[in-house]
Amino acid sequence: MRKQITMRDIARITGVSPKTVSRVVNNQGEISEVTRKRVQEAIETLGYSPNITARSLVQGRSNTIAVVAWGIEYYGPSRVVVGIERQADEYGYSLLLTLLRAKETDQKIRDTLKDLAARRVDGIVFAIPEFNDNRSWINEEVLNRLPPIVFLNMESRSGINIVSVDNKAGARLAVTHLLEQGRKKIATICGPLRWWEARQRLAGWKEVLDQAGFFTSGDVIAEGDWSAESGERAMRQLLESAPNIDAVFAANDQMALGALGVLHQRGIDVPDDIAVVGFDNVPDSAYFYPPLSTVDQPLLELGKVGVQKLNQMIATVRHDDDGMEKSTTLLMPKMIVRQSSYIDNLKKNSL
Amino acid sequence: MRKQITMRDIARITGVSPKTVSRVVNNQGEISEVTRKRVQEAIETLGYSPNITARSLVQGRSNTIAVVAWGIEYYGPSRVVVGIERQADEYGYSLLLTLLRAKETDQKIRDTLKDLAARRVDGIVFAIPEFNDNRSWINEEVLNRLPPIVFLNMESRSGINIVSVDNKAGARLAVTHLLEQGRKKIATICGPLRWWEARQRLAGWKEVLDQAGFFTSGDVIAEGDWSAESGERAMRQLLESAPNIDAVFAANDQMALGALGVLHQRGIDVPDDIAVVGFDNVPDSAYFYPPLSTVDQPLLELGKVGVQKLNQMIATVRHDDDGMEKSTTLLMPKMIVRQSSYIDNLKKNSL
DNA sequence: TTGTAAGCGTTATCAC
DNA sequence: GTGATAACGCTTACAA
């Protein structure tokens, strides 16, 4: 990586014009085999590498999209980023990764986005979970100054493009499954309720139980913070406030894991005494003790569909079809039944 | 994001030269308060955003570094990327993320790096684990055509900059701990031995046992593939080939988790009958049943130190001090003792 | 304190 | 098929 070799250098050496070198590099236009060969050889031997920055400048597009994400050290967010990267790669985009902390101010978020706009990324995937009022900065004026942007996992809303997993439906799956297993008193360890996803999962739980005519009073709800430790706390609280429960729906697998630990300590059998269902289907959940029933989210797909939608927006903007309809796409989770909630008929009969 | 507003536009409107606008934008040079205000206002109202691509072109630096990574859906790799992102952000670099699959060919790796060079990233963090011969492409000729590059977690080697966690030392910690707990027949579930890290961990296990004069024959070694499922298989194999073991060192927490599952099924008590130690300290490991003793790797730091080193390389190249010494930096893991390997004295006496 | 001119390395346009 | 010329939007020298 000494002095940069430019197109001009290649042109001078091979005795052609820079534009011809450009044509060879980009495989465009008709070129005689002779010159093409000669140019290509010069490129090889000199180790010429086209300066993509310059190309971006003149073409007005960077072939780069940015993802603004949070918490990629956790399973869910990192899966989503993987999906985003794969689809971006497929489309030929490079991926700029920007990580935010959980509690960023509005100002910080806007500065980050402004910076991405300055870097002239072609589009942005906003993959920060919705909580508190961290969507309050969204308005037409701000969006107009930004490249095309698609939001992941947030409440449906007009004027912007969104792709979300249907968390409420996922919770419904879990609780319905528990009802089908004959459970009657189903408590929940919900996530932090300042998170939209946590509220959705709680709402799904409530919806099914309300319809079935079961209680959903406060004593069968314990709020955690997604961590296993908070799951322990919540489980202890539930055993106190509602000792006669026969099932727990935890809003994520970590909290379910914490709950399992408490149940072991107390000698409460899972699933015979209390069934447990989680949410997320983290890989380890199949090896928890006992293997955890859970709700699988299509996280890879969430990322992919997000980029697909973004790519459409980018294409639309380019063609000046100022009219791409903004919409929300919902992705469906599915139920994974394992031993923490399932008693097979053989055993059931003998109980 | 309609037509791009340029410096010229701002200049024309405020009646100053483009260069003055540039000075305002970059806070450089002395400018009268009057013009600065005027320019700034114009920038605000027009929503001007400087084109960083153009700046990169003229300055010959992109203020971007790239990370080439693998498996960020797993805890370890994602932590490393987080560390990289943080340090990059601190230095003012943007981060380009490129993900590779496990089994990429040499050619694919080289193409990827070539592309990053074309994008004129200022440096590259190569965070692909070393396995098989996926380092065989490294040679001076290739490196010379690449921006500064630092390698993470690979065998020490002259001519390149490396930052690694000392996996062998980590394994030694684990096995030493088990010996101190009075264990005498310590088996291991090692990782796939085509991985450098797996070989290191196995070597650490062997080293300590050899020194202590204990057996390390094949029947106390079972190879897994890092997955919990392979941990199950390996544990079953060990119980068959060496039924009298009193401890297992698993080369990662997932495999330890699988092993725990098998031990439960067989009614073998952990840690009374068999102690188990893992490696990685994934967050969930504190909530396994029983809580897992493990070796904590400084993964965030690995990423950070990598970027620090890279930043030095970048600075060195710029100053044409062609002489930054290439070196390997080793980071030390630490032992985390939990209940899967620890019997406190009270209980010990009563056994 | 501010302006002018040149150039960064490409590609687009239009000509030959 | 190939080339000349003018951008792209900014910064660096150097002037004023």
CATH number for the domain that contains residue A21: 1.10.260.40
Cβ contact A33 with chain D strand, < 7 A: no
Q: Are residues A270 and A176 in the same domain?
A: yes
Q: What is the pLDDT of residue B189?
A: 98
Q: Percentage of chain B with pLDDT > 90?
A: 78
Could you tell me how far CA A235 lies from the centroid of its own chain? 28
Q: Are residues B177 and B288 in the same domain?
A: yes
Looking up tokens 């639309």, which residue turns up?
A316
Alpha-carbon span A197 to A154, nearest angstrom: 8
Check CB contact under 8 Å for B1 and A119: no
Q: What is the pLDDT of residue B169?
A: 98
The answer as to whether A55 is a domain residue is no
Q: Residue A124's beta-bridge partner residues?
A: A66, A149
Give, in Å, how far the C1' of D1 lies from the CA of B94.
42
Residues of B in contact with A287 (CB under 8 A): 228-229, 231-232, 254, 257-258, 261
Query: Crossing angle, helix B18-26 and helix B33-46, to 10 degrees?
Result: 90
The answer as to whether B2 is a domain residue is no
Task: Output the average pLDDT for chain B.
Answer: 93
Which of A67, A96, A257 lies nearest to residue B287, judging by beta carbons? A257
Alpha-carbon span B107 to A143, nearest angstrom: 41
**Residue B174: CATH number of its domain:** 3.40.50.2300
Cα atoms in the Cβ-side hemisphere of radius 13 Å centred on B114: 14
B161-165 and A94-100 beta bridge pairing: unpaired
**Protein residue at shortest CA distance from C1' of C2:** B20
Q: What is the pLDDT of residue B32?
A: 83
The one-letter amino acid code at A18 reads P
The domain total for chain B is 3
- The Cβ of residue A41 has, within 10 Å, a number of other Cβ atoms equal to 13
Q: What is the pLDDT of residue B344?
A: 79
For residue A167, give Cα distances in angstroms to A82, A221, A330.
Answer: 20, 18, 9
Residue in chain B lying closest to A291 (CA): B261
- The Cβ of residue A314 has, within 10 Å, a number of other Cβ atoms equal to 20
Q: Are residues B207 and B313 in the same domain?
A: no
Residues of B in contact with A114 (CB under 8 A): 49
Q: Are residues A211 and A343 in the same domain?
A: yes
Tell whether the model's pLDDT for residue B27 goes beyond 90: no
The answer as to whether A324 is a domain residue is yes
* CA distance from start to end of chain B: 74
The answer as to whether A80 is a domain residue is yes
The answer as to whether B238 is a domain residue is yes
Query: Is it true that the peptide bond before B192 is cis, omega within 30 degrees of 0?
Result: no
The answer as to whether A141 is a domain residue is yes
The tens digit of pLDDT for each residue in B183-226 reads 999 999 999 999 999 999 999 999 999 999 998 999 999 999 99
Q: What is the pLDDT of residue A1?
A: 44
Mutate to test the interface with A, among B58, B94, B268 (most CBs of A within 10 A): B94
The tens digit of pLDDT for each residue in A60-105 reads 999 999 999 999 999 999 999 999 999 999 999 999 999 998 778 8
A262 interfacial to chain B (CB closer than 8 Å): no
Residues of A in contact with B117 (CB under 8 A): 1, 49
Which of B53, B82, B283 lies nearest to residue A56, judging by beta carbons? B53
Q: What is the pLDDT of residue B348?
A: 65
The tens digit of pLDDT for each residue in A286-304 reads 999 999 999 999 999 999 9
**pLDDT-based confidence at residue A346 (cuts at 50, 70, 90):** low
Q: Are residues B303 and B288 in the same domain?
A: no
Q: Are residues B234 and B246 in the same domain?
A: yes
Q: What is the pLDDT of residue B109?
A: 94
Highest mean pLDDT among A125-139, A307-321, B337-351: A125-139
Do A278 and A312 touch, CB atoms closer than 8 A?
no
B64-70 and A123-127 beta bridge pairing: unpaired
Cβ contact B22 with chain D strand, < 7 A: yes
Helix (H, G, I), strand (E, B) or coil at A140: helix
Cβ contact B17 with chain D strand, < 7 A: no
A 89-128: CB under 8 A from B: 89, 94-99, 114, 117-120
**pLDDT-based confidence at residue A33 (cuts at 50, 70, 90):** confident
Do B176 and B182 touch, CB atoms closer than 8 A?
no
Tell whether the model's pLDDT for residue B321 goes beyond 80: no
Q: What is the pLDDT of residue B1?
A: 44
The answer as to whether A1 is a domain residue is no
Q: Are residues A280 and A175 in the same domain?
A: yes
Q: What is the pLDDT of residue A322?
A: 62
A83/B144: higher pLDDT: A83
Cβ contact B17 with chain C strand, < 7 A: yes
**pLDDT-based confidence at residue B95 (cuts at 50, 70, 90):** very high
Query: Crossing angle, helix A18-26 and helix A33-46, to 10 degrees?
Result: 90
Q: Are residues A326 and A203 in the same domain?
A: no
Q: Are residues A226 and A340 in the same domain?
A: yes
B312/B319: higher pLDDT: B312
**pLDDT-based confidence at residue A15 (cuts at 50, 70, 90):** confident
The tens digit of pLDDT for each residue in B240-264 reads 999 999 999 999 999 999 999 999 9
For residue B9, give Cα distances in angstroms to A42, A104, B13, B21, B37.
Answer: 41, 33, 6, 10, 16
Give, in Å, how far the C1' of D6 lies from the CA of B68.
38
Which of B81, B257, B286 lies nearest to residue A287, judging by beta carbons? B257
Cβ contact B351 with chain C strand, < 7 A: no
Cβ contact B52 with chain C strand, < 7 A: no
A317 interfacial to chain B (CB closer than 8 Å): yes
Q: Are residues A171 and A290 in the same domain?
A: yes
DSSP B217-229: -GGGEEE--SSHH
Domain extent at residue B73: 61-166+299-332
Alpha-carbon span B86 to B208, nearest angstrom: 36
CA quadruple A39, A42, A43, A48: dihedral positive or negative?
negative
Tell whether the model's pLDDT for residue B299 goes beyond 60: yes
Tell whether the model's pLDDT for residue B139 goes beyond 60: yes
Mutate to test the interface with B, among A6, A73, A110 (most CBs of B within 10 A): A73
Task: Output the average pLDDT for chain A.
Answer: 93
Q: What is the pLDDT of residue A25?
A: 86
Helix (H, G, I), strand (E, B) or coil at B115: helix
Alpha-carbon span B128 to B154, nearest angstrom: 9
Name the residue among A211, A127, A92 with its Cα closest to residue A203: A211
Could you tell me how far CA A240 lies from the centroid of its own chain? 35
Give, in Å, how far the C1' of D11 lies from the CA of B66.
25
Extract the tokens encoding B22: 């540039």
Alpha-carbon span B313 to B305, nearest angstrom: 12
A294 interfacial to chain B (CB closer than 8 Å): no
Cα atoms in the Cβ-side hemisphere of radius 13 Å centred on B270: 26
A159 interfacial to chain B (CB closer than 8 Å): no
Could you tell me how far CA A205 lies from the centroid of its own chain? 22
Mutate to test the interface with B, among A98, A236, A289, A304 (most CBs of B within 10 A): A289
**Protein residue at shortest CA distance from C1' of C6:** B58
Report the gap between the CA of B77 and the closest CA in chain A (Å): 8
Looking up tokens 């040679």, which residue turns up?
B139
Q: Are residues A101 and A171 in the same domain?
A: no
Q: Are residues B240 and B288 in the same domain?
A: yes
Which of A79, A227, A284 lies nearest to residue B254, judging by beta carbons? A284
Mutate to test the interface with B, among A55, A72, A110, A227 (most CBs of B within 10 A): A72
The mean pLDDT value for A250-277 works out to 97
Report the gap between the CA of B29 and the closest CA in chain A (Å): 22
Q: What is the pLDDT of residue A26?
A: 85
A78 interfacial to chain B (CB closer than 8 Å): yes
Cβ contact B304 with chain C strand, < 7 A: no
